[in-house]
Structure 1
Amino acid sequence: MPLHHIDMVKTLEKIEESAMIRLVYISSLTLKGRMSASMFEQVEKSASAYNQQRDITGILCYGNGNFLQCIEGNKAQVIALQRRISLDNRHKNIKVLLLKEIDQHTFRDWRMRLLFLERWLWSPATKQQVAQLSPFLPFTPHSWTPERAEQFLQVINTLNTPPHIKVAGITYNALGNMFRHIAAPHQAFLIVQGVLSLLIVVALLLLFL
């Protein structure tokens, strides 16, 4: 379960200011985030520049409307970044899932890459390559324990290359994703409404013809 603010403060008090830490938080995409078709590209670009200057590494994972981000680096730098992230209104329900002292960077070569955990976006080759991610899909990190998050990060760290997105899916549209999430639970309702609307149009045409 996510850490409460008091638990987070107590954990930080036990860690030396000069120490390196790993912070893992989870959050959900907001309506504003879904409306921004270029959001993921913007996040990856700004995160890469910001983190490289401060020797912060990690990985940002997205799937099923949820984020999980692992941040590694100097304690002060990581906490400052986490506060900065919490002000971003493109996501909500931000909760720290894991916070611990570490000896070295785990994701040194990733530079906060963006990892899409959406099967429909993956290339056929990727689906075969990352079968070990299946136990973590559909991606619902808000129900994870800290131990589950650590297991997930261990699997991610074993990947030689990140999952490749289909060429047709590279122009990933957050608005389209919003419609997909709305349509799924209300599909029957939308179909009925569509049929009724069509019947109304036909009736009006017959009335005025």
Structure 2
Amino acid sequence: MPSTRSNRIKQWDKIEASSLVQLVYVSTLTIASRLNTSIFEDVEVHARDYNEQHGITGTLCYGNGQFLQCIEGEKRHVFALQKRIFADNRHKNVEVLLLQEIDHRSFTDWRMRLLFLERWLWSPATKEQAAQLSPFLPFAPHGWSPDRTGQFLQIIKNFDTPPHIKAAGITYNALGNMFRHIAAPHQAFLIIQGFLSVLLVVALVLLYL
């Protein structure tokens, strides 16, 4: 069940400011943002300094036009970051999937690991390594239960190992290309799809003339 604003506030109120917490939210990238090839690099650069200064770690996943981000750190810092993120107009349909106190972090990299969850951009080696993700693809995390969210995080946190990085044969943390290298192909894919749609319309028009 999607978290309502009042439920999220109640959850936050029950947690001490110094407690270690894990927040997982999902959102949809706006159409304008999908056509902006620099958005992923911007997110990475801005997050890097802030996260290092405030002890924030986690992972950011993107696929099928949707974000899923896991943020870990002290409640006061995670809460402040959540307000900043949720106010960002580059995405919409923000939904909290999971908010809980934790004893230890699942992700330890303050650079906020970026994972691109679209099979058509994966190398054969990456597809083999990521076979466990099949139940979660195509990527549509809105409405996931806490259990399903936890299962997904458990799988992807294990990708942060040398075999997955080396076997993939392409450079991005544990799963694929760095976002700045795949944003352009993503845009190109949209352009090609649009061109093919135009050709289909023209063919149908000619067929019925």
Distance 2:110 2:190 in 1: 28
Query: How many aligned residue pairs are there?
Result: 193
- In the superposition, the TM-score normalised over structure 2's length comes to 0.83
Are the aligned partners of 1:2 and 1:146 in contact in 2 as well (CA < 8 Å)? Answer: no
Displacement, 1:15? 1.0
Partner residue of 1:170 out of 159, 181, 195: 181
The ranges of structure 1 where at least 4 consecutive aligned residues each deviate by more than 4 angstroms after the TM superposition are 177-180, 196-199
Distance 2:84 2:21 in 1: 17
Are the structure 2 counterparts of residues 108 and 135 from structure 1 closer, same or farther at C-alpha, using a change threshold of 3 Å? Answer: same
Identity, in percent, stands at: 53
Q: What residue number does 2:203 align with? A: 195
Distance 2:188 2:39 in 1: 13
Are the aligned partners of 1:2 and 1:98 in contact in 2 as well (CA < 8 Å)? Answer: no
Structure 1 gaps, min length 5: 200-209
Displacement, 1:23? 0.5
Is residue 26 from structure 1 mapped to residue 44 from structure 2 by the alignment? no
Are the aligned partners of 1:123 and 1:165 in contact in 2 as well (CA < 8 Å)? Answer: no
| Partner SS for 2:60 | strand
Amino acid at match of 2:153: L
Post-superposition Cα deviations, 1:21-64, rounded to whole Å, max 9, x if no partner, equal 11100000102211211111111121122111110000000001
Give the alignment of 1:1-209 within 5 angstroms: 1-109=1-109, 111-159=111-159, 160=161, 161=165, 162-165=174-177, 170-173=181-184, 174-176=186-188, 178-179=190-191, 183=194, 190-195=198-203
Distance 1:65 1:59 in 2: 17
Displacement, 1:178? 4.5
Let me know the Cα RMSD of the aligned residues: 2.5
Post-superposition Cα deviations, 1:52-92, rounded to whole Å, max 9, x if no partner, equal 11100000000011100000001011011011111212111
- In the superposition, the TM-score normalised over structure 1's length comes to 0.83
Post-superposition Cα deviations, 1:153-209, rounded to whole Å, max 9, x if no partner, equal 00011112411239xx924225335447x75xxx7x64442336789xxxxxxxxxx
Distance 2:111 2:183 in 1: 21
